[in-house]
Structure 1
Amino acid sequence: MPFVNSKLLGGPLFIILTPSARGERDEHALFYFWSWKAETTLKINMGSTRLLVLLAAALLLATTFPAARAQEETDHEEEFTYISGDEKGPEHWGKLKPEWAQCGAGEMQSPIDLSHERVTLVRDLGYLDHFYRAAEASIVNRGHDIMVRFDGDAGSVVINGTAYYLRQLHWHSPTEHTVDGHRYDMELHMVHESAEKKAAVIGLLYEVGRPDRFLQKMEPYLKMIADKEDREEKVGMIDPRGARGRASVYYRYMGSLTTPPCTQGVIWTIVKRVRTVSRYQLDLLREAVHDEMENNARPLQAVNNRDISIFRPYPHKRY
């Protein structure tokens, strides 16, 4: 049974040739066109020429199936929301899909409150050794947040002797993590992945004040993708060092992703120094995502018995 992979039908198109009962030449045969995705069969009785039939079949398929795909895209709904009490809200994430079960049952979930009553000073953690570099990037409106995806090698950070490579960064507003119960205006997540596919996230906290220089470079692109889910634009070479900054003091704990599937085993590093972002920049980020995602911060999760460490360098000493 010959077939071709048809972009028009979104799947393989099988062509079945059935000779006529009288065994006449193949231009009198019956051709059946069938697509598993279209779930339909087109039966065409060959007349004078094979070319006429193929053109007719192509025209028929082109005028019928694309409308079905357009309708499918129109009916798309968000898989989760941040609205408390909503059927797809944070308290229900763990029940929406089997693979999201850890969102409800996991005991090492993020975000958490970084309470100094529970924090232990651990100087042996050492400075964050990051080796970032400028790389080609794209900005993407994911509906629930705005992400800068690095399409090239943007460098890495080394944690406990393992290199974690920077894959993307995105923003939450207000902050997901709190410090002694205080929630700031915005949080940036720099998401890294090791060769073994383990995750490490560096979080930076912001309060309204002076404009953030890194976001200033993103402003024209934010306007281009505003309120357009899955829209992405190339932004050229982006240097993540402009987002990371140089602060040395940070918190460290083991947690999870803060969006479904809430995978655990994530190494979290939250920089203690609070940076600033302008009200205009904050509003630009909020307005770019869907209306129900303007406040895209997951509620605080139970700390349980986890250790929370803080690194402070010795005075006048460099590691």
Structure 2
Amino acid sequence: MRYSALMMCLTVAFTFAAEPSHKAATPEPAHKTEKPAAETVAPSHDAPPETIPVPHSAPVGKYGIPSPGASHRSNSNSHAAKKHSAPSAHAPAAAHGGRHGAPHAGGHWGYEDGSTGPNSWGSMSPSFALCAEGKEQSPINITTSYAQEMEKIKFNYGMTRIIAVNNGHTIQLNIDPGSYIEALGSKYQLLQFHFHTPSEEAIGGIRYPMVAHLVHKSEEGKLAVVAALIQQGAQDNPLIEALWDKMPDEHNESRTFDKLTYSPAALLPLDQSFYTFMGSLTTPPCSEGVRWLVMKNPLSISAKQIARFRKLFPMNARPIQSINARNVMEGM
């Protein structure tokens, strides 16, 4: 009897030992962390825009722009913010003094990394301090804007003689007095225009192949810059073709268009909708208090015309600056 009981106990014990556990070692799911996708654009069939990194130093709101509830809560005319991803590839489309101003100040600063590059501008001269310390520096990456009722810019650009100047940083075109704009309640005389590659301004993280900056000044001495973004297209732009024919190849060289006159209006897109914000000159001394008017729609020039400029200036664009607490407005 004792032998039978002992055998029964051993049988039960072996049965439990051989039974698989119901607590299977199933691995816990990993916590997947995804980096936000970079803001890009579907490449144009004409010319692929360039993607830039978005600044991460903005202290107020996303990308440094206050949310509507924070900065516009008391403004009855405020409107919801509009986010800007990469623009559609088919969106509609100084060393010279005097009255022409000096957006390209003298000195040996440049665009390449090193002791004279953009990251060193602020330490090159006390007069360049704002390049490092300023809080409203240009250019910026436009990622969010606020709709507001604004009159369209009134462009009054007449025919003018042009002096083309290679100032070592860009090709600057000085013009005769008489052309002006009316914008946001002020009148600004056009002084000169010049070019950068790629575009200094970005929209949704995209810089276009080039930009034309048309520099204006009011009677009160305030500056306003119209930024006309340039994309690559199939056709030559007639004004660019005429200007490039006499492009000065040597630094500090100038050429005069003696008998021919042209209108800078040929650099403007048909749809003249715009973004606006307060910023600075994009070259030393990086002075602030500049009203920026960025055309939302690019104009087109040919690949040959872009290549002609880049032959002299392969890259002459300042890096994107933090937007900080500024708002970008656009007309409704």
Assess same fold via TM > 0.5.
yes
Structure 1 distance, partners of 2:218, 2:189, is 6
Residue segments in structure 1 that go unaligned for 5+ positions in a row:
1-76, 313-319
Task: Establish whether residue 147 from structure 1 lines up as the match of residue 172 from structure 2.
Answer: yes
- Is the 8 Å Cα contact of residues 130 and 287 (structure 2) preserved in structure 1? yes
Q: Which has the larger radius of gyration?
A: 2
Structure 2 distance, partners of 1:136, 1:129, is 21
Structure 2 distance, partners of 1:262, 1:309, is 22
Equivalent residue letter for 1:233: R
Q: Which residue of 2 aligns with 1:63?
A: none
Q: Which residue of 1 aligns with 2:118?
A: 90
Runs of 4+ displaced beyond 3 Å: none
Structure 1 distance, partners of 2:312, 2:315, is 12
Residue segments in structure 2 that go unaligned for 5+ positions in a row:
1-105
Which of 118, 134, 157 is residue 181 of structure 2 equivalent to?
157
How far apart are residue 212 of structure 1 and its match? 2.2
Q: Which residue of 1 aligns with 2:320?
A: 300
- Is the 8 Å Cα contact of residues 154 and 239 (structure 1) preserved in structure 2? no
Which of 195, 200, 212 is residue 171 of structure 1 equivalent to?
195
Which of 237, 240, 245 is residue 220 of structure 1 equivalent to?
245
Task: Establish whether residue 232 from structure 1 lines up as the match of residue 254 from structure 2.
Answer: yes
Structure 2 distance, partners of 1:213, 1:136, is 16
* Superposition map of 1:88-167 within 5 A: 88-115=116-143, 118-122=144-148, 124-150=149-175, 152-167=176-191
How far apart are residue 154 of structure 1 and its match? 3.8
Equivalent residue letter for 2:159: A
Q: Which residue of 1 aligns with 2:271?
A: 247
- Is the 8 Å Cα contact of residues 100 and 262 (structure 1) preserved in structure 2? yes
The alignment's TM-score, normalised by the length of structure 1, stands at 0.68
How far apart are residue 299 of structure 1 and its match? 0.2
Secondary structure, counterpart of 1:214 in structure 2: helix
Task: Establish whether residue 181 from structure 1 lines up as the match of residue 205 from structure 2.
Answer: yes
Q: Which residue of 1 aligns with 2:72?
A: none
Could you say which structure has the higher helix fraction? 1
- Across the two proteins, how many residue pairs are aligned to each other? 224
How far apart are residue 244 of structure 1 and its match? 2.3
How far apart are residue 185 of structure 1 and its match? 0.3
How far apart are residue 106 of structure 1 and its match? 0.2
How far apart are residue 173 of structure 1 and its match? 0.3
Q: Which residue of 2 aligns with 1:80?
A: 109
Q: Which residue of 2 aligns with 1:310?
A: 330
How far apart are residue 78 of structure 1 and its match? 5.5
Equivalent residue letter for 2:239: F
Could you say which structure has the higher strand fraction? 1
- Bigger relative contact order (CA 8 A; separation at least 6): 2
